[in-house]
Structure 1
Amino acid sequence: MQTLSPEPAPGPLTRTHYSAETVPAARRRGYWREALSRTFGAVDMAVPDEVWSGTIRTAVLGRVQAVTVESEPQFARRTRRLIACADNEDFVVVKLLSRGGARVEQDARDNAVRPGQLFVYDMARPIRLALPEPFQTKSLVLPRAVLGLDETDISRITALPLGPESAIGGILSPLLAQLVDTAEACPEPVGELIARNVIDLLTVLADEQRGADTMESPSGARVLLTRIRAFIDDHLTDPDLTPELVARAHHVSVRYLHKLFETEGITVSRLIQRRRLEECRRTLARRDAADTTIAGVAHRWGFTSASHFSRVFRAAYGQSPVDWKNSAATGWGARSRPTEPHGSPRSLVV
């Protein structure tokens, strides 16, 4: 059992097990407050006058720390004064509420949290966290640097409860729980890899929130749509042009990209196909297309299968690419035959 010194050590501790039951009742309250501050950073703690039980288990996964806390009710507040006095406490906490209820306040948000939901909070900004009944939480304590997110992006995801009903919450909650539960026995490379997946999902969440902020401004959404359409037109010849590539190029999630196009009456994939078909149709109708093969035109504009191209072309225009090409060629021939009154060929300017 670790003995705590009177002064809290800066930053999270590593591979530690605190248990309030092993401490004499008279010292239990002070012991528990210091254990919590050591684990998550300096906070003003309000805990019951008589702390009868509580355990904290921590384990290190590279630069990430996994923490399980079981305790009686408590209330934590991190003020600007504490932030200013803190040394080496630049952390973001991802917390899953396994049991009990909670309320979290940060960045002008004040939300209740139910069991099964997780939330994020930033130790570099003021926060209030209330856990008014016996609870269990499972947390990852991350150095801000490993997230790769700026201040604005982090502020978009703080104090937002995410549960199994959301796409990211449904993936992130069980992943975080499993990682924390197995952290002590998990081989370090495996644990670091899983932690990296959690971090990646937080980045996706920030992307979605960035998109949600943009959607609040109709002009902002319209500007982004214009950029995306221009990007698609510039990359039609790339056979790897997909919604995933488009989303990545514009720093948004695929889910948000699809949401953005809901008002357009067409999906991103359909838009890419439609624009490719339009360019193929235009190319096949040109006068110099006589020696160009259907497959060649299809491949030039990003279609990987000539047969698939022919099917979607017929579905879109009611005739095959060959028929369209031949009809266009006939039209060009008809326009090239008229002559001047003296019988000399008329020059055709196109």
Structure 2
Amino acid sequence: MGFVLDTADLPPGERIDAVHAAMMEASVPSHVIHENPGGDVRTRLEVWDLGTANVFVARSSGLRLLRTAKQARQDAAPVVALSVQLRADGHHEQLGHRQTVPPGALMMADLSSPYDFSWSGDGAAGCIQIPFEQIGLPIDVIRRAAVNLRDSPLYGLMTDHVAHLVREAPSLSVDPAAHLLGRGSIELARALLASAAHAEPRARDVLDETLLTQIRAYCRRHLVDPDLRPAVIAAAHNISVRHLYKICAQADFSLEQWIIGERLRGAREELRRPEHRHRTIAMVASRWGFSDPTHFTRRFRRLHGVTPREWRRMSAEQPVPENSPAAGSRATESD
């Protein structure tokens, strides 16, 4: 379930305080300064979860977000935000670097540090917020990347990806595969930052895996697509099927088995959710690409240690213990 604040639903006298409180909830502590506080303040804030990452969208009349050094010290917030400007020019200053961000452009903000971000008039921006620990790169590499994003060949890909996440966030966040999409987005962000920072030797390792990262992210977005086949995947990345298999072999990575595993994990999540209890096991199996319910049950039990029906019952009765076979399968998940 997303978090949404729309000042259109509030009396004018309550809007400024409500926006400040909501901004603290959605992102990090900062001073929220409205361009025309005595005028018509219009703001809509949205936060949508994608596993360990989230999508944050702000649409507002003229606005300035000023995070001071004191606020950064009191609340370190080790989070990276990769943001696409949607409307009006954004103006961003952080760590001695100033930039103007036109609509359609991507920027990075280190939310653990002071910054000054603003736009004038009606503006909007949307970002994916990712904890540093999920990025898996040193802080100096992440900060060096901030000023060189456009130097990376992945800049356009990440820009389009974030714009798509922002545009479709409400539906993507409630999809059973939302957490998988979040993981794919984090992988792509990691590759972009390592590339933009020219971090040797780490960048070379990451860039060697870039195409495979893109392939995994693509597959996660299309796990419920019955036409997700090697030929389709290869065509989407402008490579041959032979080259696709070569990339996977170099990484000792079985594409077909990985897709099956991801689909089984997606099905497990769907079976766990109360709002999907009306769906039969066969319906869930079919949605995740298994035309034969018996084959689905056999593969599900092999991976998770319980049958789909047993897992659904366990989920309905009580939270699954961490040491149960099904819960334990989480610890063995790999990319």
Amino acid aligned to 1:64:
A
Residue 126 of structure 1 and its aligned partner are, at CA, apart by 1.2
When residues 114 and 21 of structure 1 are mapped into structure 2, their CA distance, relative to the original with a 3 A threshold, is: same
Q: What is aligned with 1:44? A: 31
CA distance in 2, matches of 1:83, 1:207: 24
When residues 42 and 72 of structure 1 are mapped into structure 2, their CA distance, relative to the original with a 3 A threshold, is: same
From 193, 204, 207, the equivalent of 1:253 is: 207
TM score, norm. by length of structure 1? 0.53
Q: What is aligned with 2:108? A: 120
Residue 191 of structure 1 and its aligned partner are, at CA, apart by 2.6
CA distance in 2, matches of 1:255, 1:147: 15
CA distance in 2, matches of 1:194, 1:33: 30
CA distance in 1, matches of 2:17, 2:147: 28
Q: How does 1:195-274 map to 2 (within 5 A)?
A: 195-211=182-198, 250-251=204-205, 253=207
| Alignment deviations for residues 87-118 of structure 1 (CA, whole Å, 9 cap, x no partner) | 7x322111110111011111221111111011
From 155, 168, 177, the equivalent of 1:190 is: 177
Q: What is aligned with 2:164? A: 178
CA distance in 2, matches of 1:105, 1:254: 32
Secondary structure at the counterpart of residue 149 of structure 1: coil
CA distance in 1, matches of 2:147, 2:20: 23
CA distance in 2, matches of 1:39, 1:207: 27
Percentage of pairs with the same residue: 17
Spell out structure 1 runs of 4+ moving beyond 4 A.
159-162
Q: What is aligned with 1:72? A: 61
When residues 161 and 130 of structure 1 are mapped into structure 2, their CA distance, relative to the original with a 3 A threshold, is: farther
* Residue ranges of structure 2 left out of the alignment (5+ in a row): 211-335
Does 1:21 pair with 2:8? Answer: yes
Q: What is aligned with 2:95? A: 107
Aligned residues: 207
Query: Conserved in 1, the CA contact under 8 Å of 2:80 and 2:131?
Result: yes
* Residue ranges of structure 1 left out of the alignment (5+ in a row): 1-13, 215-223, 225-246, 257-350
CA distance in 2, matches of 1:58, 1:43: 17
Residue 72 of structure 1 and its aligned partner are, at CA, apart by 0.7
From 9, 22, 43, the equivalent of 1:35 is: 22
Q: Which has the larger radius of gyration?
A: 1
| Alignment deviations for residues 219-254 of structure 1 (CA, whole Å, 9 cap, x no partner) | xxxxx8xxxxxxxxxxxxxxxxxxxxxx97x43635
From 120, 125, 129, the equivalent of 1:132 is: 120
CA distance in 2, matches of 1:129, 1:155: 17
Query: Conserved in 2, the CA contact under 8 Å of 1:57 and 1:67?
Result: yes
Residue 171 of structure 1 and its aligned partner are, at CA, apart by 0.9
Residue 43 of structure 1 and its aligned partner are, at CA, apart by 0.3
CA distance in 1, matches of 2:183, 2:13: 42
CA distance in 2, matches of 1:80, 1:192: 33
TM score, norm. by length of structure 2? 0.56
